[in-house]
């Protein structure tokens, strides 16, 4: 395609041209040109076709990613530069859809990119939430949630004109199908992300994200994960889930019929992937539809089992969804008898009560449904899968040992290196050529440059340039001042106690006291946080308030502020991540060992030359194996120790607090007059009380080791040449974490698409 010509024609149609158009008009024109080019491109040729079902697709902005994959990014940059602007400026006009929370949703987006880029036939199936998760407002120091309306008159959504009728208890509701094109990397194929929507969506609520949860016909697709602290919210989640899977299942069978294949051949032509338990009702829905098509029940169940595969993303109880059968009777009565019959079949395979689909209280265990009626089940990193098989899902893994496998997560290097870090991408290319762009494992060729001081120096200069870029972005977009000469220590991820932002907060308070005592660091340190909290998760919101208050305390203190900055980045999202990650020196991955299934930001930081400070948890274990102990900073109790402590009920935070005067002094700071003057008394008191009385995720237990290792890490940073080598090894070994590798494994072991 001649981009300049198409762009010129489109702008002419809008009554303007490249020199007169506003950035918003240029964005709009570029969007139209790319979207329409993609519409005319062929889907990947299939074999078997994959349908990847997920309640979340955290796709991020799409203009740059699409241009990269269409091979048009350099040309776009050139054309825009010739007219006095840049892709960076133009893409700032693109609203970011917030169709996900964090890791699980972003993983689904990386997977779609890799599936298309490997030329595999696979579409995403999800929901078109009009106001997303929420936009986080921290203007008064605590989180307030606001709608994030992202669908503008011109958007990536394509109305397919197709719709399906979903049989809810109250009657049928039409699911309209919108598509977003998913182009592969320079391979001419385009897959699709199908997002289902109601016909007549409700307008955004006036204030906050409260809305009438009973008005399902209009509100079903308003928000992702409506507050489920009340029954109306939980019921709405079930409505969302069934809407997504019923429409998706009907789409699958319609496409199967278009291929001229009988429904009994479903598993020969189709692979269905279930991303966590949120889409699990696709199993009974497919069985129901096959039976309607004349297939006997047991045969239908067997076909669906050969079609479906399930990924578990967390061992925390919160994600192991269960629904009272009474909810399903109200929302999706047609699948209730199917679930009861599937439960009976499962009971013929095992009489162990813990693996039943429907328990004694008539509650449906979605993960059990998934394991019985999928042919493959996987965890998302080696340690996580081991814990699933050996403890969390042990009875099921003993029943079906052949179903379980590990598929360590990955991320797309197109977005997370080529897109967000052009400086590093071109340095790498100048050193080893551009083979790594198609095969990330080639990054290992960089290892030959160990000891090449000119190269490590160049690597450090790229990092410095990214830090300066981030500092400018933080000032312009978030009103935050940071010193680009300081060490950038970054923890960005959902706010959750198990991820232990609260332990990092203790380090900040300890460092503050150190500096007050005259113990200043060699170089200033900038601690950056970014995190959204679930709207009903009080302690997570309290921790945000604590961190914001510490940030103010530090900034207000002229003795401390030259040495320490704590920046809390409001509304952390994919776009913010693309600015933050390339600029990080230290990547904070400090979850309590055994609790983080994988983590994926750890991989992105590594690929961008940050050094990990972390526990041996999730994929940090694999990172440590790849880079070696000299190139990662590990601390904390092992997962085996932690699992032992839970089993023996042997952890008492009170004892740690009593036995450590320095730690007690740090904890007391949380409720000191200085912090109470800058934070909310209720929030701070709750955080304080949780530390000493509960500390379920053992932050106090690991706090000392954490601080000591972090100090060693910051000291090592001063040997710039040695640090440059650590960065080099991290980039070089990161290729394993390409989602292309992950998707090849899914295809080889589970989907068999090609
Ligand atoms: C469940 C029930 C009710 C309400 C909400 C939920 C819910 C919503 C979202 C449960 C879990 C999630 C999201 C989980 C998630 O993002 N997990 C992360 O998945 C990543 C990709 O595999 C891993 O890298 C992370 O370790 C894991 O935390």
Which two tokens mark 15?
Answer: 């009554």
* Rounded-to-10 torsion of CA 98, 437, 312, 615: -90
What confidence category does residue 23 fall into, taking pLDDT thresholds of 50, 70 and 90? very high
Check pocket membership of 320 for ligand 1, CB cut-off 6 A.
no
Q: Which of 365, 463, 499, 532 is catalytic?
A: 499
**First CA to last CA across the chain, in angstroms?**
29
**Tens digit of each residue's pLDDT (9 = 90 or more) over 577-592:** 999 999 999 999 999 9
Residue 313 known to be catalytic: yes
CA 80 to chain centre: 31
- Name the nearest CA neighbour of 401 among 419, 410, 412, 388: 388
Distance 728 CA to ligand 1 centre (A): 31
Tell me the two tokens of residue 573: 């999202």
Residue nearest to atom 19 of ligand 1 (CA): 104
- Give the Å distance between the CA of 654 and the centre of ligand 1: 30
Closest CA to 627 of 736, 466, 709, 491: 736
Q: Which atom of ligand 1 is nearest to the CA of 384?
A: 26
Tell me if 714 CB under 6 Å of ligand 1: no
The DSSP-derived string for 66-106 is: HHHHHT-HHHHHHHHHHTT--HHHHHTTSPPP----SHHHH
Whether the Cβ atoms of residue 555 and residue 565 lie closer than 8 Å to each other: yes
| Nearest residue by C-alpha to atom 2 in ligand 1 | 319
Q: What percent of the chain has pLDDT over 90?
A: 94
Annotation says 23 is catalytic: no
Residue 315 Cα to ligand 1 midpoint, Å, equals: 10
Residue with CA at minimum distance from ligand 1 atom 1: 319
Per-residue pLDDT at 130: 97
Average pLDDT over residues 176-191: 96
Q: How confident is the model at residue 1 (pLDDT cuts 50, 70, 90)?
A: confident
Ligand 1 lined by 598 (C-beta under 6 Å): yes
Query: Closest ligand 1 atom, CA of 234?
Result: 3
* Unique residue bearing structure tokens 């680009």: 484
Write out the DSSP string of 546-563: HHHHHHHHHHH-TTTTTT
Q: Is 409 in the pocket of ligand 1 (CB under 6 A)?
A: yes
Q: 307-359, pLDDT tens digit by residue?
A: 999 999 988 876 789 999 999 999 999 999 999 999 999 999 999 999 999 99
Q: How confident is the model over 456-474, as pLDDT tens digits? A: 999 999 999 999 999 999 9
Tell me the per-residue pLDDT of 395-425, one tens digit each, with 9 for 90 and over: 999 999 999 999 999 999 999 999 999 999 9
Q: How many CA atoms lie within 13 A of 636 on its CB side?
A: 29
Q: Is 113 in the pocket of ligand 1 (CB under 6 A)?
A: no
| Nearest-atom index, ligand 1, CA of 534 | 5
> Ligand 1: does its nearest atom lie under 6 Å from the Cβ of 103?
yes
**Cβ-contact 335, 169 below 8 angstroms:** no
205 DSSP 8-state letter: P
pLDDT at 49 over 80: yes
CA of 513 to the centre of ligand 1 (A): 36
How big is the chain by its Cα radius of gyration, in Å? Answer: 26
The pLDDT confidence band at residue 694, using thresholds 50, 70 and 90, is very high
3-state secondary structure of 427: helix
DSSP for 446-504 reads GGGGTT-HHHHHHHHHHHHHHHHHHHHHIIIII-----TTSEEEEEES---GGGTHHHH
Determine the distance separating the centroid of ligand 1 and the alpha carbon of 737, expressed in angstroms.
19
Is residue 228 scored above 80 in pLDDT? Answer: no
Which residue among 61, 313, 414, 467 is the active-site one?
Answer: 313
pTM above 0.75, yes or no: yes
Annotated catalytic residue within 494, 511, 637, 710: 494
Query: Of 104, 132, 498, 746, which is best to mutate to test ligand 1, by the most ligand atoms within 8 angstroms of its C-beta?
Result: 104
pLDDT at 742 over 90: yes
Cβ of residue 92 lying under 6 Å from some atom of ligand 1? no
Environment class of residue 519 by beta-carbon count within 10 Å: exposed (0-12), middle (13-18) or buried (19+)? exposed
Residue 600 bears catalytic tag: yes
Task: State which of 103, 241, 281, 533 you would mutate to test the pocket of ligand 1, scoring each by most atoms of that ligand within 8 A of its C-beta.
Answer: 103
pLDDT value of position 225: 77
Q: What is the pLDDT of residue 628?
A: 98
Q: For residue 447, is pLDDT > 70?
A: yes
Does pLDDT of 375 surpass 90?
Answer: yes
Q: Decide whether any atom of ligand 1 lies within 6 Å of the 408 Cβ.
A: no
Report the share of the chain in percent with pLDDT over 70: 100
CA of 199 to the centre of ligand 1 (A): 29
104 CB near ligand 1 (under 6 Å): yes
458 CA distance to ligand 1 middle (Å)? 38
Does ligand 1 have an atom closer than 6 angstroms to the CB of 283? no
SS3 375: coil
Split at pLDDT 50, 70, 90, the class of 214 is confident
Q: How confident is the model at residue 486 (pLDDT cuts 50, 70, 90)?
A: very high
Q: How far is the CA of 388 from the centre of ligand 1 (A)?
A: 15
612 within 8 A of 605, measured Cβ to Cβ: yes
pLDDT of residue 226: 66
Is 314 annotated as catalytic?
Answer: no
- Distance, in Å, from the CA atom of 180 to the CA atom of 161, rounded to the nearest integer, reads 14
Cβ atoms of 128 and 196 within 8 Å: the answer is yes
> Of all protein residues, whose CA lies closest to atom 15 belonging to ligand 1?
104
Q: What is the mean pLDDT of residues 602-622?
A: 98
* pLDDT (average), residues 273-302: 98
Span from the CA of 23 to the centroid of ligand 1 (angstroms)? 36
Please give the number of the atom of ligand 1 that sits closest to the Cα of 102: 16
Options 273, 334, 365, 604, the catalytic residue: 604
Residue 227 has pLDDT above 80, yes or no: no
Per the listing, tokens 């409720």 go with 671
Which ligand 1 atom is the nearest neighbour of the CA of 596? 26
Separation of 313 CA from ligand 1 center, angstroms?
6
Give yes or no for residue 599 CB within 6 A of ligand 1. Answer: yes
313 lines ligand 1 (CB under 6 A): yes
Q: Among this protein's residues, is 213 annotated catalytic?
A: no
Residue 656 reports pLDDT greater than 70: yes
| Burial tier of 155 (Cβ tally within 10 Å: 0-12, 13-18, 19+) | middle
Residue 563 CA to ligand 1 center (angstroms) comes to 36
Cα 249 → chain centroid: 25
Mean pLDDT of 671-696: 98
**How many angstroms does the Cα of residue 512 sit away from the middle of ligand 1?**
34
pLDDT category, 229, cuts 50, 70, 90? Answer: confident
Q: Does residue 321 line the site of ligand 1, with CB under 6 A? A: yes
Separation CA 176–CA 157 (nearest Å):
12
Is 478 marked active-site? no
Give pLDDT, residue 721: 97
Q: What is the DSSP string of 660-695?
A: -HHHHHHHHHHTSHHHHTTS-HHHHHHHHHHHHHT-
Among 35, 278, 407, 493, the one annotated catalytic: 493
**β-sheet with 270-275: strand ranges across:** 158-168, 171-183, 190-197, 122-127, 49-53, 270-275, 308-311, 376-379, 404-406
């Amino acid at each position: 395609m001649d981009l300049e010509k198409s762009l010129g024609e489109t702008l002419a149609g809008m009554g303007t041209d490249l020199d007169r158009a506003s950035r918003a008009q240029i964005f709009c024109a570029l969007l139209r040109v790319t979207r329409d080019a993609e519409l005319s491109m062929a889907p990947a040729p299939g074999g078997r076709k994959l349908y990847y079902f997920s309640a979340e697709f955290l796709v991020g902005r799409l203009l740059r990613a699409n241009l990269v994959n269409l091979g048009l990014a350099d040309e776009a940059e050139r054309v825009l530069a010739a007219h006095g602007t840049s892709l960076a400026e133009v893409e700032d006009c693109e609203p970011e859809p917030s169709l996900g929370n964090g890791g699980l949703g972003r993983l689904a987006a990386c997977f779609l990119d890799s599936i298309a880029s490997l030329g595999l036939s696979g579409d995403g199936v999800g929901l078109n939430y009009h106001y997303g998760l929420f936009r986080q407002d921290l203007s008064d120091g605590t989180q307030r949630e606001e709608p994030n309306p992202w669908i503008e008159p011109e958007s990536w959504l394509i109305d397919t004109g197709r719709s399906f009728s979903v049989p809810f208890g109250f009657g049928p509701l039409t699911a309209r199908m919108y598509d977003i094109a998913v182009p592969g990397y320079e391979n001419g194929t385009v897959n699709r992300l199908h997002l289902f929507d109601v016909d007549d969506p409700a307008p955004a609520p006036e204030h906050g994200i409260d809305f009438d949860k009973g008005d399902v016909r209009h509100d079903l697709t308003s928000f992702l994960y409506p507050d489920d602290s009340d029954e109306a919210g939980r019921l709405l989640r079930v409505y969302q889930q069934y809407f997504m899977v019923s429409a998706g299942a009907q789409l699958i069978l319609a496409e199967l019929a278009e291929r001229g294949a009988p429904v009994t051949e479903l598993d020969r032509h189709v692979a269905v992937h279930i991303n966590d338990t949120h889409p699990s009702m696709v199993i009974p829905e497919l069985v129901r539809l096959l039976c309607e098509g004349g297939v006997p029940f047991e045969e239908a169940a067997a076909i669906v089992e050969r079609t479906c595969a399930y990924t578990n993303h967390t061992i925390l109880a919160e994600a192991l969804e269960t629904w009272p059968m009474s909810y399903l009777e109200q929302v999706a009565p047609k699948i209730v008898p199917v679930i009861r019959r599937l439960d009976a079949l499962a009971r013929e395979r095992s009489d162990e009560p813990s693996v039943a689909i429907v328990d004694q209280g008539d509650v449906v265990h979605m993960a059990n449904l998934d394991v019985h009626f999928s042919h493959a089940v996987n965890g998302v990193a080696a340690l996580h899968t081991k814990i699933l098989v050996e403890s969390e899902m042990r009875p099921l893994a003993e029943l079906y040992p052949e179903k379980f496998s590990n598929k360590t997560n990955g991320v797309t290097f197109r977005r997370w290196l080529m897109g967000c870090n052009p400086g590093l991408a071109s340095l790498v290319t100048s050193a080893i050529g551009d083979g790594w762009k198609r095969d990330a494992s080639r990054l290992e060729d960089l290892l030959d440059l160990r000891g090449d001081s000119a190269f490590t120096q160049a690597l450090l200069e790229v990092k410095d340039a990214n830090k300066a870029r981030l500092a400018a972005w933080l000032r312009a977009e978030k009103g935050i001042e940071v010193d680009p000469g300081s060490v950038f220590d970054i923890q960005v991820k959902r706010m959750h106690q198990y991820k232990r932002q609260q332990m990092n907060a203790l380090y900040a308070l300890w460092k503050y006291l150190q500096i007050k005592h005259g113990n200043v660091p060699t170089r200033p340190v900038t601690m950056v946080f970014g995190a959204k909290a679930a709207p009903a998760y009080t302690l997570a919101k309290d921790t945000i308030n604590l961190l914001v208050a510490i940030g103010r305390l530090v900034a207000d203190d002229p003795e401390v502020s030259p040495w320490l900055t704590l920046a809390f980045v409001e509304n952390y999202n994919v776009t913010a991540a693309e600015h933050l990650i390339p600029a990080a020196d230290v990547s904070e991955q400090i979850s309590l060992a055994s609790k983080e299934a994988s983590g994926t930001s750890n991989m992105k930081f590594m690929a961008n030359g940050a050094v990990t400070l972390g526990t041996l948890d999730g994929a940090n274990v694999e990172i440590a194996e790849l880079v070696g102990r000299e190139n990662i900073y590990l601390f904390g109790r092992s997962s085996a120790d932690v699992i032992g402590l839970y089993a023996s009920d042997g952890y008492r935070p009170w004892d740690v607090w009593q036995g450590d005067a320095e730690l007690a002094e740090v904890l007391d700071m949380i409720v000191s007059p200085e912090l109470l003057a800058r934070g909310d008394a209720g929030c701070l008191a709750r955080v304080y009380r949780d530390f000493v009385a509960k500390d379920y995720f053992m932050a106090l237990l690991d706090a000392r080791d954490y601080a000591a290792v972090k100090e060693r890490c910051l000291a090592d940073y001063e040997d710039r040449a040695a640090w440059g080598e650590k960065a080099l090894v991290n980039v070089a070994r990161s290729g394993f974490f390409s989602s292309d590798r992950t998707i090849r494994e899914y295809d080889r072991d589970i989907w068999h698409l090609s």
